[in-house]
Amino acid sequence: MAVSCIGALVTPLAMASDPTTGTAVATFAGGCFWCMEPPFDKLDGVISTTSGYTGGSSENPTYKEVSRGGTGHAEAVQIVYDPKRVGYEQLLDVFWHNIDPTTAGGQFCDWGDQYRSEIFYHDETQKRMAERSKTALEETHPFKEPVVTEIAAASNFWPAEDYHQDYYQKNPVRYKFYRYGCGRDKRLEELWGKPE
């Protein structure tokens, strides 16, 4: 469901919702962006997911630059959705259940700031909801370690190269091999239990 617009800058706090189209935008970083598209693509009401880079200062970053580290960007997924069919709270729930919120400096087998987990809010309502969801997670204590996922204002979002978009659909065997080898599903099950 990715929208290809490589090199096209998506501005940050351009409102979370667009009254002309009735859509809204959410942005999450959860380690490898290949693995963050599928859980959101499954949701009724999600119109598109785009893998890209955000949270850094360099313009029009490439995968090579970001994966090397030092740009400040995180691999992230930007979601366009219909808020009448799926709420931001549901997106937050899907986000939390697809990351390890107790790990700083990377996710699963991918290490470095570029693979951090972070919620990038697009307006004050998203900020409040994100903070509330993090607080609720901390209070329920489903795991021993503290929740270290950050919450920050959205900044410029740079779509990743075409070959990264919908990678799990274009390269299903390689994707499954990577995901298994990275131990993502094993760790998610340890944290959250078996998926329904």
Catalytic residues: 32
Burial 64-92 (b: 16+ CB within 10 A, else e): ebbbeeebbbbbbbbbbbeeeebebebbb
Nearest by Cα to 78 from 125, 174, 137, 14: 14
Decide if 89 contacts 128 (C-beta within 8 A). no
Which pair of structure tokens corresponds to residue 168? Answer: 């799990």
Three-state secondary-structure class, residue 59? coil
CA Rg value for the chain: 16
Beta strand pairing status for 110-111 and 106-107? Answer: antiparallel
Q: How many residues does the chain have?
A: 196
